[in-house]
Each structure stands twice: as C-alpha cells, then as structure tokens.
Structure 1
Amino acid sequence: MKTLARSRLFAPLFVALTASAWAALWLWDAGPYARYLRHASWAELPLIGALCRAAPGASLTLAASLHSAAWLLMIAAMMLPTAFPLFETFARMTSARENSRALMLLLIAGYASAWALFGLVAHGFDATLHQLADRSPALLANGWLIGAAIVALAGAYQFSRLKQRCLDKCRSPLMFIAEHWRGRSARRESFLLGVRHGVFCIGCCWALMLVMFAVGTGSVGWMLALGAIMAIEKNFRWGRAIGTPLGVALLAWSAWIVLQNARIA
C-alpha cells in the first residue's frame, strides 16, 4: 500500500515542483531585480554589489553563483517537464526499494548536472559574443547578424539526424532505463542515468536553448513558449509532426530578420 501511495503521489509532487519553479521565475521577472535575470552585472545589485567591491575576486564568484542559481531555476521550470516520462517511469520501477527517494534525487541531480555544465558553456559563449561585440563597432552595429545566425542554426538543426536520434532516446524512457540502469550499484547508476539522459536531452534542445539566449534569457514568456515546444516534441505522439514546421518557421524568422535589417541599411 505504501508503495502504491508513493507512486500516486509522484506526479502531483512533480507538478508542484515545476509550478514552484515557474512561480519563482515569474516573481523574479516581475520584481525590482528582473534585470539581473538577464545579462546585467550582478555587481550592481544592492548589498551584493558592495560586497563585490569590498572583496577582491568576489564579483566573479558571486556573479557565477547567482547566474548558476538563475540557470538551474530556468532548467527546473523548462526542462524537468520534458523529462517527466523518465522520472515517472523510474519512480514506478524503484518504488519497492527502501531508498527509492534517494535514488530519485540522485537521478534528478545527475540530470541537473548535465544541464548545469551546458549552462556554463552557453553562458561562456554568450559572454564571449558580448565581449567581441563591445570591441568591434561593426559587430555592435550589426548585432542582429548574431541573432539571425542563431535562429537559422536552430532551424537547420531541426532537420539533423543527431536531433532525431536524441529525440528517439528521450521518447523511450523505459528502454532508456533498461539500457543504462541495472540496480546493482543503485546510487551510482541512478546519478549516471540522469547524466546520460540529460546529455541526450541537451542533444534535443541545445539549439532552441540558444534561441532563448538570442531573444533574452530573462523573458519568462519566451521561456514558457520554448519549454512548451520542447515538451511537446519529446512527450507527445504528435510531437514528431511539429519538427519540420518548426524548422521552417525558424529559418523563415531568420530570413525575416535579415530582410528587415537589410532594408534599414
């Protein structure tokens, strides 16, 4: 009975966790510190800014910590729903174990670790582009080229074999667990299962996540739209049908950006 009750509680708790992450993002975006969810300097923040100026090296450390916290909150809101089938299947398969909760936490931690590493790479890439733009008047004046290129890349990636292979892995959670989890070294395997699934999830979604950087990481509306698209692609039967139209739409959007700016020039 306890096992059955625990299994039934998983979905509501998962929904509550995701809803809490979205609520936190919405409150952050609606509050006085909304700009710190985007690309502004964390050193400008009251109290934190004073600490950054007082302690050498604190600015970089605090900025990295706060950006990491913001990124993980975005991942919890956007990507956890896309991986719900895996988590729910794993919860049912391990519900009879006494340490089932610990194994689930390790699975989620592994998944979050993969996305955290991607976040570091993406933020580094984004920061490098901003530095290049600041040092190049021509690039700064034509920053739309970067946005158009990223949107075009996301559109082209929709048609790639790599994306389809990653989607196939994500759409078959039971087979994925059977392939990567034996339950012998349960804790280690649970964490690594989360990491592996996170890697395939990144393979599905990295290009669309770069679009989020291009349009603004602090826009809750964009995050909600992109999160919904990625969840549909991975978790619904008709998700396969939106891949091609989405790719065409992204390529058309990129072309529209180029045409609009070519007219102005």
Structure 2
Amino acid sequence: MKMRPRSRLFAPLFVALTASAWIALWAWDAGPYARYLHRASWTELPGVGAICRAVPGASLPLAASLHSVAWLLMIAAMMLPTAFPLFDTFRRMTSAREERRTLIALLIVGYAMAWTLFGLIAHAFDEALHRLADQSPTLLANGWLIGAAIVALAGLYQFSSLKHRCLDKCRSPLMFITGHWRGLSARRESFLLGMSHGAFCVGCCWALMLLMFAVGTGSVGWMLALGAIMAAEKNFSWGRSIGKPLGIALIAWSAWIVVQHVSMA
C-alpha cells in the first residue's frame, strides 16, 4: 500500500479542530452554564429544570444528552490529539481513493464511538457511587476514601501488563492499520478500525480518565494536564518512560490523601 506525502493542510486543520474544542470547553466552563460540565442536579440547571417539570420522563433523556455533548467535547479536546499519528497515517494510505474524506471521517467517528461507550459506563459507575454514598452516612461523611481509591487505582494500573500492551498498539499506528484494514469493504473497515484503535486507547488510558471523576469532570486545568500526559505517552519516543514515575506519584498522592484525613480525624 503506497504512502503519500504529508498534506500541508491536514495537520493545521487538525490543530484548529483541537484548539476549537479546548476554546469551547474553556468558554463553557467560564460561562453561566458551567454546571453542565460538572455533576449537578439536572432539575436545578437553567432551562432544563423547567422542561423536566413540564414533560414527564424528560429528565433522563436530557441528562444523557447533556452528558454526551460534554463528554464528546472533552474527548475531542483530550484524546483526538493523542491519536493524530493514526489519523495522519491512514489519510496518507487512502489518499488515492475517491472516498478518502468519507473514510477518514468514519475512522474518527469509530474512534469517538469507543470513547463514548466508555463514557456511558464511567458515568453509570459514577452515578452508582453517588447513590451508594447517599444511602450510606459513613461513606457520605468519608467520601475522600473513594477519591483516594480511584487515584491509587490509576497509579497501580500504570504498572499493569494490560496497560503496556494497549500502549504498544497505540504507539504503532502503521502496524495497527495494516493489521486491521484491508480496504475491501472500505467504509465498514474504516469505522471498525477507528473503533478498534479507540478500544485499545481506552484500555491504555481509562484509569487516568477516571481521575476526571475523582477531581471533577469540569476542571479544564485537569483536562489539559491529563491530555498532555496521555499524548506524551503515546506519541513521543520518551513517552513510555513516564509511566512508572507517574504511577509512583499517583500512589503517593493517594497515600497523602489518606494520611491527611486520618490525621484530621
């Protein structure tokens, strides 16, 4: 399969798309509707509460829709840059095809779909934890235990073999494409290629993404920090070397949270 030269427009357009996502997140977080990015009672949000009260059963679909929009915007800002080598390599390999724009679009949609499914699972898990805490006075009074556990889990996962197997897939876009795409049913294969790569990306980064729920899903600063870490792990030659130090730092942070709260008890 012949590789074409790099496009002078694809990278700038991709950077512009990513920058637009970050600007949108920043504007959203700084505006009057910032609570849409954070956990809140949906019936208290401006506009949404009135609809929920007027239309029976509207609360759940509206909550799901707003969660989905916020999550997809976060994924566009944080994760698309980490997968740029895959998108660029695939674009160059399919540049001779008439439907090349459709194929790259399907690749990106498939990638986003994998992260959307993870987002639904993560939000369901987060909701279950909050309901459990609401029903347990002890857990409600010691909610820091959940945060410390999530931080420790993220740290320990940095040392797992599954993390490194998934990271290897993410760091080798050309090998991944040649192993998953034949071009016989181009559109279907492009979408499934994006889904497959997104699944390995989730396998590599899910524990770090859970930190979003521990520190607040609406923190743009945390999103920037986590996005930079994940991009470095995947796209730079020295990225693999930050895994263990990051894991040690997260475990130490978790221990510090425990010590701090125990000493205050």
| TM-score normalised according to structure 2 size | 0.97
Once structures 1 and 2 are overlaid, which stretch shifts more, 96-105 or 40-49?
Answer: 40-49
Residue 42 of structure 1, CA deviation: 2.8
2:181/2:189 contact within 8 Å kept = yes
Cα RMSD for the two superposed structures: 1.3
Residue 219 of structure 1, CA deviation: 0.2
**What stretches of structure 1 of length at least 5 have no aligned partner?**
none
Q: How many residues align?
A: 263
**What stretches of structure 2 of length at least 5 have no aligned partner?**
none
SS of the aligned residue for 2:7 comes to helix
2:64 match = 64
2:80 match = 80
1:142 match = 142
| TM-score normalised according to structure 1 size | 0.97
1:31 match = 31
Instruction: Give, as a single letter, the amino acid of the residue that structure 1 aligns with 2:186.
Output: A
1:186 and 2:213 matched: no
Residue 167 of structure 1, CA deviation: 0.4
Residue 4 of structure 1, CA deviation: 7.2
SS of the aligned residue for 1:57 comes to coil
Once structures 1 and 2 are overlaid, which stretch shifts more, 37-46 or 250-259?
Answer: 37-46
1:211 match = 211
- Distance in 2 (alpha carbons) for counterparts of 1:263 and 1:240: 36
Residue 33 of structure 1, CA deviation: 1.1
1:223 match = 223
Point out the structure with the larger helix share: 1
- Distance in 1 (alpha carbons) for counterparts of 2:36 and 2:192: 33
Aligned-residue identity in percent: 80
Residue 6 of structure 1, CA deviation: 8.4
2:167/2:234 contact within 8 Å kept = yes
- Distance in 2 (alpha carbons) for counterparts of 1:16 and 1:219: 22
Instruction: Give, as a single letter, the amino acid of the residue that structure 2 aligns with 1:13.
Output: L
1:7/1:91 contact within 8 Å kept = no
1:257 and 2:257 matched: yes
Residue 215 of structure 1, CA deviation: 0.4
1:171 and 2:165 matched: no
SS of the aligned residue for 1:252 comes to helix
1:158 match = 158
SS of the aligned residue for 1:159 comes to coil
2:35/2:45 contact within 8 Å kept = no
1:21 match = 21
2:116 match = 116
1:51 match = 51
1:29-50 C-alpha deviation (Å, 9 max, x unpaired): 0011112211012332222221
SS of the aligned residue for 1:8 comes to coil
Instruction: Give, as a single letter, the amino acid of the residue that structure 1 aligns with 2:194.
Output: G
